[in-house]
Amino acid sequence: MSTSSITAGKPFHENDGQLVLAHVLFAFAALLLGGIAGLLQAMVRGGTITLPHGIGYYQLLTAHGVLMALIFTTYFIIGFLYGGVAKTTGRLLPTTLALGWTGFLLMSMGTAVGTVFILLNKATVLYTFYAPMKASPYFYVALALVVVGSWLSGYGIFYQYNYWRKTHPGERSPLFSFMSVVTMLLWQVATLGVAAEVLIQLIPWSFGWVDTINVLLSRTLFWYFGHPLVYFWLLPAYICWYVVIPKVIGGRIYSDALARLSFLLLFVFSIPVGFHHQLMEPGISQFWKFLQVALTLMVVVPSLMTAFSLFATFELAGRAKGVRGVFGWLKVLPWNDVRFFAPFMGMLIFIPAGAGGVINASYQLDEVVHNTLWITGHFHLTVATSVALTFFGIAYWLIPAVTNRRLTPRLNKLGLWQTWIWVIGMFFMSGSMHTVGLLGAPRRTAYTTYGDNAQASGWIPYEVVMAIGGMILFVGVLLMIYNIYALLQAPAGYEEFPIGEELDGAEPTPKLFERWGVWLGISVVLIFVAYTIPVVEMIQTGVGSPGYKTW
Ligand code: HAS
Ligand code: HEM
Ligand code: CU
């Protein structure tokens, strides 16, 4: 924001900036629509409103899940990654831009068609679209468009990265670009599962070309994708934590090698673990569930490495400023800078959020919490807080950076307010979801008193608190939308795209880290080990089901 920083970097080229901005604005439009659905849901469950005639609870829940978890996240991620790749490898090449825009158009067509079918109440199948609930075939076609579009966006990033490597032989690639490639590679491998489910199973079945569907197989293909999906959301937040935050706090990246290794481990271990979403399902033998739970616990390791690395970055930055004592470094962190504060609250909340994940992954504990509001509480901390707040924090500098404006002190302050509102709203909403989940309240259920059942009546007060949390969060959504609007009107100038530098004297990064064939190979082997036998069994013994319209 100072005048010296105006000359510190080059402004974004207009063409690159437009691609980033289009994705980011689309993401926030989805957040607004998804937020309206979220508010209504929370109020219905709290018994405070009934929906006007014609709108179903599950219809809203589908809109909320799809717009928040699939659309808001994917668009923001692609925009952010293209921004960082442009910043670290140079202007986007014409082919990169063409792939980026084609991806954007396909995804947007898919999103528009999908949303219309949800609004028409022809696709009330929730964001996991489990068979044998059967939506209009055009909903599945829309999903396929979104996936294919996102593949093209990924190819754009690979293309730009390859070009950079060819023109910089022997050099280590910029950390941001490396991490973007890992994120998009994870996405390519993960989406193969959902693409197979949609193209081979759901589309032929919903058009009526085949009568039945193998339900267990379809759920397995979904979760083959669905778990790495959550890491696809998380990795860009980690990029911010590893690469952006050190610069914002005036420190250094603790270790480039450690950061790359943690991303590679996340890539390798996050796919062969989908069964931890199916622990309570019949038809998968205990050995395969056990194996995938063991791999799930492996994927916790790179997150713990990330936590270690962040603490090291914070402490070393503090020491460099001369502070002493075990916790002295906390005092010199830039608490009043929203570029730091919003992602930091995301990190802090990721500690209980991740602990909740480890609980879910433990078979005996999952028996208690599966399909309860505890799970909903878990992912409103992980994706809707750790990830979402980090994305909000990024937007405050990314939007001005790509539009050649600056983040003003007033907007910075509004951003701090927005962060507090989100944290407080989520404390109430997710806190009561966790608690009432332990008391047995199911997720994905509209308001009901179960015929004034005694146990169920005990859930109502928590659901009221959930609704209050939801209202606070909705204020947070509105303020965020206002902030985005105001960022677009901010005064012209230069805003930095913060990219941290590595600590001097760190260990060199092994060349092996950029031998993609090796990592892809390990990943494929693990996937085959974890999935081949159970999937063959499912195909051989699976029973077909006709489709149902349950709404
Ligand atoms: Fe999860 C269900 C297990 C992480 C999202 N998860 C879900 C669903 C979603 C989701 C959306 O095993 C529901 C899907 C549905 O609709 O059914 N999850 C885990 C595990 C982890 C985990 C083991 N989940 C995530 C992340 C998500 C996410 C990340 C989104 C972004 N999850 C499960 C399981 C289920 C599940 C089961 C199925 C349950 C069921 O029954 O249905 C781990 O990856 C978590 C590891 C994280 C940590 C924390 C590390 C801490 C860090 C922060 C450091 C902080 C600093 C600041 C430095 C171990 C990195 C500190 C500063 C100070 C001053 C203190
Ligand atoms: C589900 C509220 C923001 C992702 C829900 C539920 C409520 C809710 C009440 C339904 C619980 C149930 O019946 O099972 C809200 C409110 C928000 C908000 C009030 C803020 C205004 C977010 C964000 C994300 C998100 C930012 C992700 C980025 C989800 C998902 C589901 C869900 C994936 C599950 C849908 C399903 O079970 O099919 N939310 N939420 N939410 N929310 Fe949110
Ligand atoms: Cu998972």
* Residue 419 confidence (pLDDT) above 50: yes
Helices (H), 127-174: 137-167
Would you call 91 a catalytic residue per the annotation?
A: no
Query: What pLDDT digit, counting tens, does each position of 504-535 carry?
Result: 777 778 889 999 999 999 999 999 999 999 99
Residues 151 and 188: beta-carbon distance below 8 Å: yes
Residues 205 and 145: beta-carbon distance below 8 Å: no
Domain range for 213 is 3-545
- Residue 440 forms part of a structural domain: yes
Q: Which ligand is nearest to the CA of 223?
A: 3
Residue nearest to atom 54 of ligand 1 (CA): 307
Residue nearest to atom 33 of ligand 2 (CA): 65
Would you call 23 a catalytic residue per the annotation?
A: no
- Residue 161 forms part of a structural domain: yes
In the prediction, which pLDDT does 448 show?
86
In the prediction, which pLDDT does 416 show?
98
Q: With bands split at pLDDT 50, 70 and 90, how would you rate the model's confidence at 1?
A: very low
Query: What pLDDT digit, counting tens, does each position of 249-296 carry?
Result: 999 999 999 999 999 999 999 999 999 999 999 999 999 999 999 999
Q: How many domains does the chain have?
A: 1
Average pLDDT taken over every residue of the chain: 94
Helices (H), 439-493: 454-488
Q: Which ligand is nearest to the CA of 477?
A: 2
Query: What pLDDT digit, counting tens, does each position of 118-176 carry?
Result: 999 999 999 999 999 999 999 999 999 999 999 999 999 999 999 999 999 988 999 99
In the prediction, which pLDDT does 503 show?
83
- Residue 415 forms part of a structural domain: yes
Q: Which residue has the tokens 């959020």?
A: 353
Radius of gyration of the chain (CA): 23
Does 314 or 4 have the greater pLDDT score? 314
Q: Catalytic: which of 378, 405, 406, 434?
A: 378
Task: Specify the CATH number for the domain of residue 496.
Answer: 1.20.210.10
* Closest approach atom of ligand 1 to CA 360: 37
- Residue 326 forms part of a structural domain: yes
Measured CA to CA, the distance from residue 160 to residue 13 in angstroms comes to 15
- Residue 261 forms part of a structural domain: yes
The pair of three-digit structure tokens given for residue 296, joined into one six-digit string: 């799930």
In the prediction, which pLDDT does 511 show?
87
Query: What pLDDT digit, counting tens, does each position of 168-218 carry?
Result: 998 899 999 999 999 999 999 999 999 999 999 999 999 999 999 999 999
- Residue 237 forms part of a structural domain: yes
The CB of 345 under 6 Å from ligand 1? The reply is no
> Element (H or E) spanning 213, and its range?
strand 213-214
Measured CA to CA, the distance from residue 14 to residue 28 in angstroms comes to 21
The CB of 339 under 6 Å from ligand 1? The reply is no
Q: With bands split at pLDDT 50, 70 and 90, how would you rate the model's confidence at 384?
A: very high
- Residue 27 forms part of a structural domain: yes
Say if residue 429 is exposed, middle or buried (CB neighbours under 10 Å; 0-12, 13-18, 19+).
Answer: buried
- Residue 551 forms part of a structural domain: no
